[in-house]
Amino acid sequence: MISREEVEHVARLARLHFDDEELVRLQPELSGILDYVQQLSELDLSGLEPTSYAVALKNVLRADVPWEGLTNEEAMSNAPDDERGQFAVPRIG
Amino acid sequence: MAINVQGLTAHACRDLLASREVSSTELTQAYLDRIDEVDGRIQAYLLVDREGALEAAAAVDAKAPDQRKPWEGVPIALKDVLCTKGLETTCASRILKGYVPPYDATVVAKLRQAGLVFLGKLNMDEFAMGSSTENSAYQVTRNPWDCDRVPGGSSGGSAACVAASEAPWALGTDTGGSIRQPASFCGVTGLKPTYGAVSRYGLIAFASSLDQIGPLTRNTKDAAALLDLIAGRDPLDSTSTGLNEPAGIPTRGDLEGLRFGVVSELTGEACDPGVREVFQSAVDAIESVGGVCEPVSLPSVERGVAAYYLIAPSEASSNLARFDGVRYGHRSKHAEDLYEMYIHTRSEGFGAEVKRRIMIGTYALSAGYYDAYYAQAQRTRTLIIKDFEEVFRRFDYVISPTAPSVAFKIGEKVSDPLAMYLNDLCTIPVSLAALPGISIPAGFSAGMPVGLQIVGPHFSEHGILNAAHAVEQRLALDLVPPLEEVCG
């Protein structure tokens, strides 16, 4: 069973916040899922390489040719807040 | 000419346009009318782009037909995970409400180039995480065969839309079964291509090593045509390779000389009795047209769900880090500083299932757990790949039901995440091995559609579609849902 402290620690890593009510629900849910996936630890998989991509690809190269990207206006068009063509954010810490 | 779009395939649309009996404007209007008539009940569309669709149709009508563009003027609808330039794209999430992409996904650009008309954007589970479309932040889509039931997911809007003839065909995406399972639930055809066959550029990422875009259609011919329209290598997605050979138009009527492995682990107790019965009738159909079916054991597939629910959330936790309120989408108004802004933005913007998966992924990738969880899951993935390779030495294709049950009731599984995950038992191993898989309607259990999944080796889309076509011709099912009766 994953502890409440662990849930809060992982939430901080993931930049999420849960209130007390959510934590009460989340803790057993996450524990249930982690208990289920725990079955993999019973398998003897020594000698097997981990697969990150299932279709083998060699280095994919292309010529370094410039092309038209987004304009500054297009790139900024969804900005929640901007200043002089740049993304604006609240003060840091 | 009045057009009845019910049951109309994309090929039939194309033929109507080619005969000049109908203009693209009339055809598009007929679909918009159909959407007006039924979507209040089905709720497949998040956004209907009336103006844009009629404008695109009028542009096609105003010019001479282009022989190189046989699909010009045919309408289509898109899952809302695909970026459409100038058209809101939300991934059915609050965090992307109001997001208007400044560019098209490659598949969207290809369809635009081919002259297709976009009717609108379709509902889905938020960020494609779910198997029922109930995780949408906006609305609950209903199954056109029974409005009290889910359409499946995550491409539930795409499947329901095609089943209810609110578009002749649609694009969906599949990470662990998100095209095939809803296709099975809604009685339509859904194809997940080999990983890499289709560019993922402009597909909002969930799990990058698994995500693929594919067609949801009324039959195998339409699926093949749509796959050929979207497949291809793309410099903007370095993992894309395209197909080795085009899917072509499937014509095969027999299955002489083909061997089908019936996956024991996915056909026995794992499935409901009603599903097993329909699956057996599909096996009989395959044999009646010359195919040989034999049981085959793939023991590692039983570990697929466990491996998937580590790999996919791990990739998701990393991919969804980009939603931080800085560049696009929702930004919380309740923050004093940047750190608080991140936390509040994400906590307000993401739904419960998305948060759950981010938590699982973050946990699995965090210091001290990486080897026990993520690396072990990736080794399991290797095992599954090897098992499939072994089976394809002896069989041309492997088959199973697409899902262990028919569509379940709305609300039935929302409070039990693990029960929901197990719904993807038959489709997940195929995704982990990057194989192509198709779901076609195989029959009905108590009035609800049941899908047959056919899986082949990498890049065997041409073969899978032809095999599926032969089964489809043999079964000759009536696949127009009696909407007035079941959703009156």
- Asked if residue B133 is part of any domain, the answer here is yes
Residues of chain B with pLDDT under 50: none
Residues 6+ apart with CB under 8 A from B362: A10, A13, A14, B317
Task: Tell me: do B180 and B327 sit in the same domain.
Answer: no
Q: Which of B209, B336, B382 sits opposite A49 (nearest CB)?
A: B382
Q: Which residues of B touch A53 (CB under 8 A)?
A: 195, 209, 239, 434
Chain B interface disruption, residue of A33, A61, A62, A67, most B CBs within 10 A: A33
- CB-count burial class (<10 Å; 0-12, 13-18, 19+) for B240: buried
The 3-state DSSP class for residue B240 equals coil
Distances (CA, A) of B250 to B230, B244, B265, B314, B477: 17, 16, 30, 38, 18
Tell me how far the alpha carbon of residue B25 is from its chain's centroid. Answer: 28
Task: Tell me: do B348 and B473 sit in the same domain.
Answer: no
Task: Tell me: do B115 and B46 sit in the same domain.
Answer: yes
Q: Which residues of A touch B355 (CB under 8 A)?
A: 16, 18
The 3-state DSSP class for residue B214 equals strand
Look at A18 and B347 and tell me if their CB atoms are within 8 Å: yes
The type of residue at B390 is: E
The type of residue at B396 is: D
Task: Tell me: do B241 and B108 sit in the same domain.
Answer: yes
Task: Tell me: do B238 and B309 sit in the same domain.
Answer: no
Q: How many domains does chain B have?
A: 2
Residues 6+ apart with CB under 8 A from B8: B165, B168, B218
CATH of the domain at B76: 3.90.1300.10
* pLDDT of res. A3: 94
- Asked if residue B266 is part of any domain, the answer here is no
Task: Tell me: do B235 and B337 sit in the same domain.
Answer: no
E strands within chain A? 82-83, 86-87
Examine the fold and report which residue of B326, B353, B376 is the final residue of a domain before the chain moves on: B376
- Asked if residue B442 is part of any domain, the answer here is no
Taking only the tens place, the pLDDT of each residue in B346-399 is 999 999 999 999 999 999 999 888 888 999 999 999 999 999 999 999 999 999
Tell me how far the alpha carbon of residue B91 is from its chain's centroid. Answer: 14
> For all residues of chain A together, what is the average pLDDT?
92
Q: Which residues of A touch B237 (CB under 8 A)?
A: none
As for the ipTM of the complex, it is 0.96
Q: Which of B99, B194, B363 sits opposite A78 (nearest CB)?
A: B99
Alpha carbons B230 and B215: distance in angstroms, whole number: 9
Q: Which of A53, A78, A91 sits opposite B337 (nearest CB)?
A: A91
* pLDDT of res. B327: 97
Alpha carbons A59 and A54: distance in angstroms, whole number: 15
* pLDDT of res. B53: 98
Q: Which residues of A touch B356 (CB under 8 A)?
A: 26, 29-30, 33
Q: Which residues of B touch A37 (CB under 8 A)?
A: 306-307, 309-310, 373, 377
Instruction: Assess contact for B225 and B11: CB atoms under 8 A.
Output: yes
Look at A14 and B309 and tell me if their CB atoms are within 8 Å: no
Task: Tell me: do B205 and B345 sit in the same domain.
Answer: no
Q: Residue B404, CB half-sphere, CA atoms under 13 Å: how many?
A: 20
Task: Tell me: do B50 and B169 sit in the same domain.
Answer: yes
Task: Tell me: do B31 and B143 sit in the same domain.
Answer: yes
Q: How many CB pairs under 8 A join A and B?
A: 168
Task: Tell me: do B218 and B367 sit in the same domain.
Answer: no
Instruction: Assess contact for B384 and B265: CB atoms under 8 A.
Output: no
- Asked if residue B164 is part of any domain, the answer here is yes
How far A10 CA lies from chain B's nearest CA (Å)?
6
Residues of B designated as active site: 79, 154, 178
User: Closest chain B residue to A70 measured between Cα atoms?
Assistant: B102
* pLDDT of res. B1: 62
* pLDDT of res. B488: 67
- Asked if residue B298 is part of any domain, the answer here is no
For residue B326, what are the domain limits?
A: 304-376
Examine the fold and report which residue of B376, B409, B425 is the final residue of a domain before the chain moves on: B376
Examine the fold and report which residue of B347, B376, B405 is the final residue of a domain before the chain moves on: B376
* pLDDT of res. B419: 86
- Asked if residue B230 is part of any domain, the answer here is yes
Q: Which of A14, A40, A78 sits opposite B359 (nearest CB)?
A: A14
- Asked if residue B4 is part of any domain, the answer here is no
Task: Tell me: do B310 and B240 sit in the same domain.
Answer: no
- Asked if residue B3 is part of any domain, the answer here is no
Task: Tell me: do B316 and B189 sit in the same domain.
Answer: no
Q: Which domains does chain A have, with CATH numbers?
A: 1-41 (1.10.20.60)
* pLDDT of res. B417: 87
Taking only the tens place, the pLDDT of each residue in A47-57 is 999 998 888 77
**Interval A3-26 mean pLDDT:** 96
Q: Which residue has the higher pLDDT, B9 or A63?
A: B9
